[in-house]
Structure 1
Amino acid sequence: MEHFEAIIIGFGKGGKTLAAALADRGKKVAVIEQSKMMYGGTCINIGCIPTKALVHHSKLSQLKRLSSFEDQASEYRSAINKKTELIAAMRQKNFENLDKKQTVTLFTGKASFASQHEISVQTETGNVMLHSEQIYINTGATTVIPEIDGIQESKHVYTSTSLMEQTALPKRLVIIGAGYIGLEFASMYAGFGSEVIVLDSHRNLLEREDRDIAQAVQSSLEKKGVTFHNATIESVRDVEHAAIVTYAEADQKRQETTDVVLVATGRKPNIEGLQLSNAGIAITDRGAIQVNERLQTTVPHIFAMGDVVGGLQFTYISLDDQRIIMDHLYGNKRRTTQDRQFVPYSVFIDPPLSRVGLTEQEAVASGHEVKIALLPAAAIPRAKLSEETEGLLKAVVDAQTDRILGCTLFCADSHEMINIVQIAMVTGQPYTFLRDHIFTHPSMSESLNDLFQMISH
């Protein structure tokens, strides 16, 4: 058995950053990753980076206005190959960044707890036992596969991970699930030239968003050719060279024949095989590792971070989890998960949808008296000159304090703009700060002047 001062299970954003930080302090660290294809974690291998690379190439494909499906398929194949080259290079760089640390040892294999201080690693060559006084879990999340008749047996069913490995562009794509992942893939594949049908059991699209924003998103995607159905999926059956998806809509049974079925019904914490009970680590009702505000599990020397603890599944949250743990180890022990204010997020449809803070309906439900501002993206000079006029911007302001309660930006470059709004909110600025701020021109950011000017009217 080999002893380490820290064992980190999972090579994700939080885990790899923590490993490097501990190694820089001279600590002997073991990092365990179950697959050599996942060095660097979800984001660079199967999440943010590959999907956003394909979003980028999808947009380029649209601009080329390719007339035949053969040309579109060729463009898609090229995009997949470029994506694969990109993540291979980033994966290798992530491996090298840790491998070059003298006090870091990388193990590729499946980790499980043997006790509160012992980890068993099943590698290709056999079983290895590791011991440490401190253990950190960063195993991420995995795709939820719903219990639908025939879905497990179908050869035409893919997850977001496996679909991005296919070099053949599907002529027809059925997406089960209209959450953020489902909508990103709908936008992306429609851009490449696929006929996209989205099936979802929720009555309203994007239930977490205000209805005016959700309707703007749906309208934009429908203009790209995406079709939406409020449906309950009954079965998936393979036929020759295709799959048939049977579903119920408005009490009528319907069927779609498709080349590919994408399952996009959410992700769950990845705890399978960890044998958490051997260490006495509790899990929540939702299957996440239970942690306190400093990310300690029910065993104080074992911490968990990132998607495996539930909550917001963002790379930047995993990174901030690492900051909290480092503050607990070497700082003043004041940082906690309760410190996070107004965490922004973006959904990379085209144009991207970004939000921070409360929606109008959430603000009203919370007892706020609100003032609302709406601005069509088509009114923004920069959007006009770049011919990206699709979208809607919305701000929610407290009528009593003039503080910004929330902001939703459905427009080009919203993923950059939303950070400006978040900083204004965190620093307690009134909405007039953004209304009167000097921005460069012509830029998408200066539209915040116009959006918050609407509050005064």
Structure 2
Amino acid sequence: MKQYDCVVIGTGPAGQKGAIQAAKLGKRVAVIEKNSVLGGAQINTGTIPSKALREAVLHLTGASSRGLVGHTNSVKRRIALSDLVAVSQQVIRHEWEVIHDQFARNNVDLLWGRAEFTSPNQVLVHGPDGVEAIEADRFLVAVGTRPARPADVPFNNHTIFTSDEVLKLDRVPKTMIVVGGGVIGVEYACIMATLGVRVTLVEGRKQVLGFLDSEIAEAFQYFMRQKGIALRMGEKVESIREKEFCNGTTCTLVEAQLESGKTLRSETLLYAVGRQGVCGSLGLQNVGVEFDDRERLHVNEHYQTSVPHVYAAGDVIGFPALASTGMEQGRRAICHAFGVDSVGNYNTTLFPYGIYAVPEISMVGKTEEQLTTEGIPYEAGVANYREIARGKLIGDDLGMLKLLIHQETHKILGVHVIGTGATELIHIGQAVMALDGDVEYFINNVFNFPTLAECYKVAAYNGLNKLNHV
């Protein structure tokens, strides 16, 4: 029986970085992957394919430059989403090769098969060539999640589907209902609307993306409506069924009944309410590790489960369930597992959030609502893209960047961006916050011109003017 210092289950972002970190510490490492490809949802069904689809759609429709050249661009209707997603295959193959190469260069054993704990230190690998037993001192569970598929929703993968199947549609539908206003729901709603699909989004809360700063969320909802997306906020779906309704040459194939009594009909329906863990088949009962009703694991600040030598990271531990956060969680979990305390002074509350909708949204730090609740005195400094030369050059008149500034110390408490390049811009503010910088940094430093980064200087002046009652 093979003996390892560390066994990692799953090759998604958290598993990859955890395994490589353990190898860098000189440990004997094995990583187990049950699927036929590496990378988990990040590379194969989620992050890379969906972002490739977004970029292809923006290019196809010219949406990213409409503010500059006008609204004259039209969408090619006779296209398949699968054709657009094919753009991502080159990137996916490259990522597979990168992961393979990293494992090989760092002497990480890659074991194909399904992992099952039989005791606290032993795992069976149910592989294509049989079952192999291995032992380890430490484990990192990074098995990720899958889209939730409630039993009362009649999924058929072509008119009623989850985010895993939307990328396989054979054509662009005329209409779509999106159930769920979380990250996945709004990203696909915006992509489809940009393609000319009439989208209706149903969300049980009064605001999409409830973790966002409310001003940003309100602006985003305005942009969604401007794209023609019908928002049914504060509404819940009571039932979904396949039912064909024809009116002349137009047919709808899906009916969603809302609790309020409204009936929605559409060609297609994307169900994007939550994700489900996949811990049930891991044999965790043989270790003493419990999971919740959605098969997610609870961990402490060091990413340990209730059994100290079993760690977990990535989507399987819940919010924020981002590829970027999963990578860092996996690294930190392994560092703690092997007694490495020098993981940097990075504050985990400064994880950035990125939403690749149309437009992009990104944030780091506190929201205005959080600061108000906590009684922290602050002022907001805002820069609109329409004020910035670069914003005019790229045709984005709607974007904005907001700094939240402590009224007394002038420290940066939060940065919120909506618009082109938001997920890139956020890292400037993140770095200043991590290094305990203040708003004067943006005043006293030079930014390339013309760039969107200049928004930081404009927002800083705006915030300081308010603080100085100018």
Contact 2:58 / 2:194 at 8 angstroms: preserved in 1?
Answer: yes
In structure 2, the partner of 1:352 is 360
CA separation in 2, counterparts of 1:371 and 1:68? 42
Q: Does 1:187 align with 2:190?
A: yes
Instruction: Report the residue type matching 2:57 in the other structure.
Output: S
SS at match of 1:320: helix
In structure 2, the partner of 1:132 is 136
Q: Could you list the per-position Cα deviations for residues 82-123 of structure 1 after superposition, in whole angstroms to 9, with x for gaps in the alignment?
A: 12343133224423432x348433222221111101112222
SS at match of 2:7: strand
Contact 1:61 / 1:75 at 8 angstroms: preserved in 2?
Answer: no
Contact 1:288 / 1:308 at 8 angstroms: preserved in 2?
Answer: yes
In structure 2, the partner of 1:236 is 240
Gap change, CA 1:254 and 1:286, over 3 Å in 2? closer
Q: Could you list the per-position Cα deviations for residues 272-322 of structure 1 after superposition, in whole angstroms to 9, with x for gaps in the alignment?
A: 211211111233687432333222222222222222222321222222223
In structure 1, the partner of 2:248 is none
CA separation in 1, counterparts of 2:20 and 2:96? 16
> What is the CA distance between 1:154 and its match in structure 2?
7.1
Q: Does 1:16 align with 2:16?
A: yes
Gap change, CA 1:107 and 1:355, over 3 Å in 2? same
Structure 1 unaligned segments of length 5 or more: list them: none
CA separation in 2, counterparts of 1:269 and 1:299? 19
Alignment of structure 1 residues 64-213 onto 2, 5 Å: 71-74=76-79, 76-98=81-103, 100-101=104-105, 103-146=107-150, 149-152=152-155, 156-213=159-216
CA separation in 1, counterparts of 2:311 and 2:179? 34
Q: Could you list the per-position Cα deviations for residues 56-81 of structure 1 after superposition, in whole angstroms to 9, with x for gaps in the alignment?
A: 11111121889776x23437454221
In structure 2, the partner of 1:246 is 256
Contact 1:20 / 1:101 at 8 angstroms: preserved in 2?
Answer: no
CA separation in 2, counterparts of 1:338 and 1:26? 24
SS at match of 2:54: helix
**Which of the residues 376, 391, 406 maps onto 1:368?**
376
298-307 or 22-31, which deviates more: 22-31
**Which of the residues 426, 436, 446 maps onto 2:434?**
426
Contact 1:120 / 1:130 at 8 angstroms: preserved in 2?
Answer: yes
In structure 2, the partner of 1:63 is 62
SS at match of 1:88: helix
Gap change, CA 1:372 and 1:266, over 3 Å in 2? same
In structure 2, the partner of 1:298 is 306
Contact 1:137 / 1:303 at 8 angstroms: preserved in 2?
Answer: yes
CA separation in 2, counterparts of 1:255 and 1:425? 45
CA separation in 2, counterparts of 1:376 and 1:101? 47
298-307 or 272-281, which deviates more: 298-307
Instruction: Report the residue type matching 2:194 in the other structure.
Output: G
CA RMSD after TM alignment: 2.7
Taking every aligned residue pair, what percent have the same amino acid on both sides?
26
Gap change, CA 1:36 and 1:315, over 3 Å in 2? same
Contact 2:154 / 2:160 at 8 angstroms: preserved in 1?
Answer: yes
Query: When the two structures are aligned, how many residues end up with a matched partner?
Result: 451
Contact 2:8 / 2:32 at 8 angstroms: preserved in 1?
Answer: yes
Contact 1:293 / 1:336 at 8 angstroms: preserved in 2?
Answer: no
User: Taking CA–CA contacts closer than 8 Å with sequence separation of 6 or more, which of the two structures ends up with the larger relative contact order?
Assistant: 2
**What TM-score results when the alignment is normalised by the length of structure 1?**
0.90
Gap change, CA 1:3 and 1:220, over 3 Å in 2? same
Contact 1:45 / 1:91 at 8 angstroms: preserved in 2?
Answer: no
CA separation in 1, counterparts of 2:106 and 2:321? 31
Q: Does 1:51 align with 2:55?
A: no
Q: Could you list the per-position Cα deviations for residues 363-396 of structure 1 after superposition, in whole angstroms to 9, with x for gaps in the alignment?
A: 1111012212233322221111111112332222
> What is the CA distance between 1:253 and its match in structure 2?
2.4
Instruction: Report the residue type matching 2:181 in the other structure.
Output: A
In structure 1, the partner of 2:247 is none
SS at match of 1:106: strand
SS at match of 1:133: strand
**What TM-score results when the alignment is normalised by the length of structure 2?**
0.88
Alignment of structure 1 residues 235-384 onto 2, 5 Å: 235-240=239-244, 243-248=253-258, 251-258=260-267, 260-283=268-291, 287-328=295-336, 332-333=340-341, 335=343, 339-384=347-392
214-223 or 264-273, which deviates more: 264-273
